[in-house]
Structure formats: C-alpha cells, structure tokens
Amino acid sequence: MPAALPCPTAGAARAVRIPLRCAKLHLAPGRLAPALLLLACASTPALAQSTDDQNAIDLPELVVSATGIPTPENEVASSVSVVTAEDIERRQQRTLPDVLQSLPGLNVVQTGGPGGQTSVFIRGTNSNHVKVLIDGIDAGNPSTPNGAFDFGQLLATDLARVEVLRGPQSGLYGSDAIGGVISVTTKKGDGPAKVTGHVEGGALGTFNQAAALSGSTDKLAYSFNVTHFSSTDIPVTPQNLVPFGYPTHSNAYDNWTYSTRLDYQAADALAVNFIARYIDSRLAFTPDTYPPPTYEGIPAAETSTSLASMFFTKGEGVWNAFDDHLVTTFGASAMTTSNPTSGPNTAVNGQYEGDRQIYYLRSNLALAPGQNLLMGLERRNEGMTSRTAYTEMDASTGNTGAYGEVQGSLGERFFGAANIRYDDDDTFGDHTTFRLAPALLFPETGTKLKASYGTGFKAPSLYQLYAPYYGNAELKPEESTGYDAGFEQQLWGGRVTFGATYFHNDITNLISYDPATYQNVNISSATTQGAETFVAVAVTDRIDVRVDYTYTHVVGYMPVGQPFGAACAPIDITSCTPLRRPNTKVSVTLGWRPTDELDLSASLVYASSWWDIVRLTADYIDQPGYTVVNIAANYKLTTHAMVFARIDNLFDQTYENPNGFLAPGFGAYGGLRLTY
C-alpha cells in the first residue's frame, strides 16, 4: 500500500492536541471529523485514558487498515484484529511475533525463539503474501529470495497499535497483499513531558532494558525510544539431530532498536510529521552442514553469526482545506536493510543489502455525512545487492500505482467500501485489482452481517527475477481472488459478542522451481478456505475472556509431471498440501483485575499438526501440534512504579515449529517499570 495509508499521522489536524471534551469536538461532514479520527488512530491509549474525565466521549474502536480512513469498527466489513499498547503491556509481549501468536487466521513460525527467522501465514497463504507496514512504511525486505519481512526483528516496546487485516487487499495496498495486511503504528507523544523505562530479566539468559521520552507542546508532539533486548542462552537444536560426541550450542540474540516520532503543527492547515526507526541485531546460531563422505546433514560444530541492520524513515506533510472536508497527505518513505552472515560454515556466508523509496500523494474528500472519496498516487523504487562465495547479484525495479476508494453509508444500517487500484510495474507491466466490502447492521438485535470480495497480487521478488541460474525475468505476478462472509452478534448490552466468518481464496501463477531448467516458473496454484469463529465475554467488569477458533484447509496444484518442490507435501500426482499450515488453531485469552493495582492475564494457543519438511533431509513429516499457556501479572506499586512478572510455556510443552528447531520451554521473567 501507499506509504501513508495505513495510519494517517496524527499531527494532521487542528483537533489533535485538543482535549477530548464534548464542548471542544468539531464534527466535520464525514462520520467523524478527520482530525478526531486521525487522533484516534495514532493515540488509542490516550483515548482510553481520557475516560477518567467525566466529560470525555466514549468513542467506538476505530479501524484504519481496512479502508485507509479511520472508521468505527462496527461499520467495517473486513475481518480485522486490533491489538493496542494496553494489550501488549498487560500481556508483557516483547516482540511482534509474541503479539501475533494468538490472533485468528495467523500461523507464526519462528526458527527457535527470540531472533530466529520468523514468518507469518495468513489464512493459509504463503508467508510472502503478507503486506507489512510500520507507520505506513513498507517493511518487506527486497534483498531476500521471496521479499518477505522477518517479523523476529521487530520489538514491541514502542508499539501503540497493531492491526491485522485478513483477505486479499491489493485494491488499496498493491503488491504482496494476497493473504492480508499487518499494519503497525508507534506511540505518539501526548501531554506533559514524561520519562518511562523498564528493566527485565529471566530465562534464556534474558536481560532487557527500555527507556523513552515523550510529550507534547502546543505545536509539537515528540517521542524518543531506545530498547535493548538480549537473550544469551536459547536452546534451539534438538538433541536427536546431533551426532554422538558433537557439541551443541544455544542461540544468542541481541537487538538494539531506536525510534523517533515527531508531529509538528506548522500552521492551522498544515502539519509536518517525521518518523524514523533503526534496528541493529545480532544472532549467533547453529547452521547445517553436509560433510563428506556421506554428505548427510548435521548441525555444524561451530556457530555462525547473522547481523541485521534495518532503517525505516518517513517524512510527510498533511494539508487540511475547506474546514477539514479535504485532507491531503504527501511525502516520502524509505527503508534500507543489510544482512551479512559470517562464520566457519561458508555455505551460509554472504552479504545481502536492499533498499526501497516510495513517494506518495493521497487525498480524502468528505463528500457528505458518511460519504468519503479517497484517491492516491504512488511511485516505488527498490533494489538489492548480494555477495556470496558463489554468486554476485545487483538488481532494481520500480512501480507506479494509482488507486481510488469510495466509502459510504445509508442511514445507520448499511455501510460499504469499494476500491480499485492500477499498478504499472517496470518489469511485468500493468495490473488492476479491486475490493468490495459491504456491512449491514441491525441495531435492534445487535447483529452485523458482513462480506467482502477482492483480488490480490504478488510481484516477483528481485531474486526470483534476476538471481544467477535461478532467476526468470519472464515471471508473472502471483494472483488471487478471494471472498469472505460472516456475522457478528452482541447480547446482553454487548457483554457477550460472538461471530463466524467463512473465507475462500484461489491463487494462481504461483512461482515454483523447475528442476529441468533450474529456474523459477509460474506453474502452480492453490486454494485456501476455512472459517474463523470467536466468542468474547465480559464476565464481570473485572473479568473478560475471549476464545478464537480457526479452521484452515489448503491444497496446492501442479501440472502432471511437474515436481511439487520442497514447499508442498504430495497428496496425489497433481495436488499437495502446502507446509506449515495447521488445519486447526484455538486461542484463549483471559483477563482478571482483582484490584485496581493488580492486573492478571493468561493465554492459551493450540495448533494441530501440520505437514513440514525434515530439517536435515528432503523428507516430509506430519509435525505434531502443540499447546502453550502463558500467564502474566502486573502490580502497580505507586503512580510511578510497577512490578511485573510472567511465565511463558507454563507447562513446559516441548515442540518444534518448524521441524528441527526447538521452541522455548518453561521460562519465568520479572522486572520493574518506572514512569516520571
């Protein structure tokens, strides 16, 4: 998606720094004033805190990613999960994979705990079919073979909000959004200057620290954050893979993350915003080796080191005209990444670098109450270089995109959005995608009916196009058509909410490996379908529980005579089961606040078995599932101090996800958080 779409920066409007009091709210002709919506998008925790004010308005939860326009959640037809900073702090989730683990429709796969390469599969689609945005900046890595983002590198300390949008979304977001979109927004400064920080220690040799300075003046909101995450003893390699007498080594991970967010109201009608994030991480890991004379795979006797440095930045202006009827955002975003690997195992050594720049212009016009027209343009340039002992590569490409969306309502019952996007890629030419998403509300019964239908595509990565021996410049984009339909029902004044959604996706032109030519080719396809159901209950004002159940069925197809490749376990001569997609996932989250000072939470995640590939061979395996329970406690000592503790994997479940990589076992952690 365009760099600015996923969460318009909050400094965009005059209402941003006005307290949320009835007498001071300005309601524009849209559903709510763009200024208020922008504030809500960027400062959800602040809105929650405002409920202590007797004059504050109890606003509905707002969703941004589904339409690019902040919209009350009950008016959104798309399937969206929202995680706030309050949720993250309550559950003591330290990384983005921790945040995503329990969400419906997602399967998170991490090679052995903190810092391990992490992929996310949405509704059974491939791991590179997920659009990832950090403050609106496209985070996909152009230097990796499939272009996917490594979720394991993103810490959660300064995250204000995570939205997971499921289903094909290329009509608004362009390439990559076949399975869905994960949009991350960082915290915005608000109120008097404050300093916060925490220190934490525990299992896996963990010692974490974080510090932040944030606040706002009449014209400037500021936030500066630094986080250090360190785990020095992460058991990863199963003992049964290690030959007798060979040493085993634990992984060690170290991550320093620095982030800045500035929102400046330059004039009544103009705001200027700046965002930057730098990630510097180091992972010591055990690679695989295949020594003669048998060339059978074994874990190496010595560790290798993988470094990762990523820089994301965005600068934009937001201009308001015609009494906030027209909000125009313009700017540029950029990202660079460098991933050198070194060590005694030369097979995994190399230097990989990538970069991307996006220039964008977007306008939202409030046509009438409840009616909006969103239009935008985007130019994208990206490149990569790689140097290994065997190959060298230097490639680049670009894309120009234009999109439009109409969002409207009829009375208080019917709400809908329709978008269309045209992309002109420098490599494979033009591509048009769209999405329709209507919702029907029955306030009398608390019922919501929803549906969506859309298309998606994934442009070939630079590696797939131009890699020595394997690249194929004639590749076409992978394409999808998908739909979902469901309902949500509230009972007893909203204390009980439940719902179900059926989804179906057909994906064509999937890129597979042709061993006859050693090249990537568009020859396979897949169908994913299933259901997501949930029930959420506010048992009392202090006890809440939510249960999510997801069923996913995925089948891949290949022409007769073509090999399936390593990513699909054969069913018969033309069909196969894509790897690492459990059929069943259940998650349960429980919260209990026995006193105003004490907050307790617990979560359970169950995943059924899935087909995987054995780490050291080309064999397929029906990988056993797992059940993991985590618990956490936060106790407020004073208005400035809080102690916290948690236990991950309470019952010490032993499991591998993926095969050959142990997930962390029982681990206890504790620490202190200070605010001044």
At residue 97, φ and ψ (nearest 5 deg) are -55, -35
pLDDT tens for each residue of 57-95: 445 689 999 999 999 999 999 999 999 999 999 999 999
pLDDT at 369: 84
Q: What is the pLDDT of residues 582-597, one digit of tens each?
A: 999 999 999 999 999 9
Residue 517 confidence class, pLDDT cut points 50, 70, 90: confident
Contact 158, 187 (CB under 8 A): yes
Residues 358-369: pLDDT tens digits? 999 999 999 988
Average pLDDT over residues 537-548: 97
- Which residues have a Cβ under 8 Å from the Cβ of 494 and sit 6 or more positions away? 446, 538
Summarised one tens digit per residue, pLDDT across range 484-497 is 999 999 999 999 99
How far does the chain reach from its first CA to its final CA, in angstroms? 38
> Can you tell me whether residue 640 is helix, strand or coil?
coil
Overall pTM surpassing 0.85 (yes/no):
yes
**∠ CA(375), CA(400), CA(398), 5° rounding?**
150
Look at residue 222 and give its three-state secondary structure: strand
Measure CA 243 to chain center: 38
Which CA distances in Å does 198 have to 93, 131, 211, 260, 336?
13, 31, 7, 18, 29
Bridge partners of 590? 545, 602
